[in-house]
Amino acid sequence: MTANDTDITVGYIGLGNMGAPMATRLLDWPGGLVVCDARPEALAPFTGAGATAAETPAAVATQAQVISVTVLDDAQVRDVVDGPDGILTTAAPGTVIAVHSTISDLTAADLERRCRERGVDLVDAPVSGGAPGAKQGRLAVMVGGSEEAFAAVSGPFGRWAELIVHAGPIGAGTRMKLARNLLHFVSFTAASEAQRLAEAAGLDIRELGKVVRHTDAITGGAGAIMLRETTAPVAEDDFWHPILGHVRNLGEKDLSLALDLGERLDVDLPLARRALSDLGPGLGVGTGALSESATKEHA
């Protein structure tokens, strides 16, 4: 199978907040769509629009050659793929299973071995973009698996994903998703710290939120610095050195000012202190003079 094989039938298992809008974008897939969910009410909109319903993952695999799985956790993924009524009980050799649930990369590797024994391919393909991205067809999907399996899923994935990345071998998609979400939730924690500082300073934190969302849409937020191929130190004659050095200098200045304000307002800012010491080294340009003096002062 290749990305151009539109005559294949696609299966979708798990029609929740993410799975339903993703599967909806496959309703007009030329080879047809087979859907499966434990809740009859979740199936109704799809069968009403022309999809075929299947009672079990095994029943999906008798009809579909590419099968997407979006369920809750590792245990449910294992049951769907390799359980008593799982995909592997009926899947023909050459079938490709795509797991969109965020699971352990070890679980993905273990299931891929089990699938390979049956001549079936499995990719771990977690997504990023949330329910809004799924509804808009603008998700990013990070795929771990073989080149052949990646080619087979690229066509169906293109119906609901705006960005399709082949992250590497099995497990790589999950590892990339975990790195992405580390940034996401650490950023949320930083946002809560910024709100505490703003609230203590008598500011309207809803207005602060408007400013953050507006300017992040312009600058790209944290992703704006994620352009290099390595995290190694940047050589002084490298193109990136003056650019990242400028970012470091601005960041250290503003973080120092924020820490000073926090001290005056008696607001503890542990992430800001950590950022002041780690920003320059993280960018690969080392700490600046301002960071060294300010870190000692705020220690």
Domain segments of the chain: what residues?
10-170, 176-298
The Cα–Cα gap between 139 and 153 comes to 15
Q: What are the Cα distances from residue 71, in Å, to 99, 271, 278?
A: 9, 34, 37
Query: Which tokens is 17 given?
Result: 């907040």
3-state secondary structure of 144: strand
Amino acid letter, 266: D
The Cα–Cα gap between 241 and 233 comes to 9
Amino acid letter, 224: A
- pLDDT of 228 reads 87
Residue pLDDT tens, the chain, 299 long: 554 577 899 999 999 999 999 999 999 999 999 999 999 999 999 999 999 999 999 999 999 999 999 999 999 999 999 999 999 999 999 999 999 999 999 999 999 999 999 999 999 999 999 999 999 999 999 999 999 999 999 999 999 999 999 999 999 999 999 999 999 999 999 999 999 999 999 999 999 999 999 999 999 999 988 988 899 999 999 999 999 999 999 999 999 999 999 999 999 999 999 999 999 999 999 988 766 665 566 55
Task: Give CA angle at 99 (93, 104), nearest 5°.
Answer: 120
The correct answer on CATH 3.40.50.10190 for the domain covering 10-170 is no
Q: In this structure, are residues 76 and 109 in contact, taking their beta carbons and an 8 Å threshold?
A: no
Closest CA to 270 of 172, 213, 192: 192
- pLDDT of 294 reads 57
Element (H, E) at 161: strand 161-168
3-state secondary structure of 13: strand
Task: Give CA angle at 18 (49, 116), nearest 5°.
Answer: 95
pTM: 0.86
Q: Bin 275: left if φ > 0, else alpha if -120 < ψ < 50, else beta.
A: alpha
- pLDDT of 227 reads 87
Query: Which tokens is 12 given?
Result: 């979708």
The Cα–Cα gap between 193 and 275 comes to 12
From the candidate CATH numbers 1.10.540.10, 1.10.1040.10, 2.40.50.140, 3.40.50.1820, the one assigned to the domain spanning 176-298:
1.10.1040.10
Element (H, E) at 11: strand 10-13
- pLDDT of 293 reads 61
Amino acid letter, 171: G
Report the catalytic residues: 177
The Cα–Cα gap between 242 and 194 comes to 28
Closest CA to 108 of 94, 95, 122: 122
At residue 54, φ and ψ (nearest 5 deg) are -125, 140
Element (H, E) at 261: helix 240-265
CB-based contacts of 107, cutoff 8 Å, min separation 6:
74, 77, 78
Q: In this structure, are residues 216 and 190 in contact, taking their beta carbons and an 8 Å threshold?
A: no
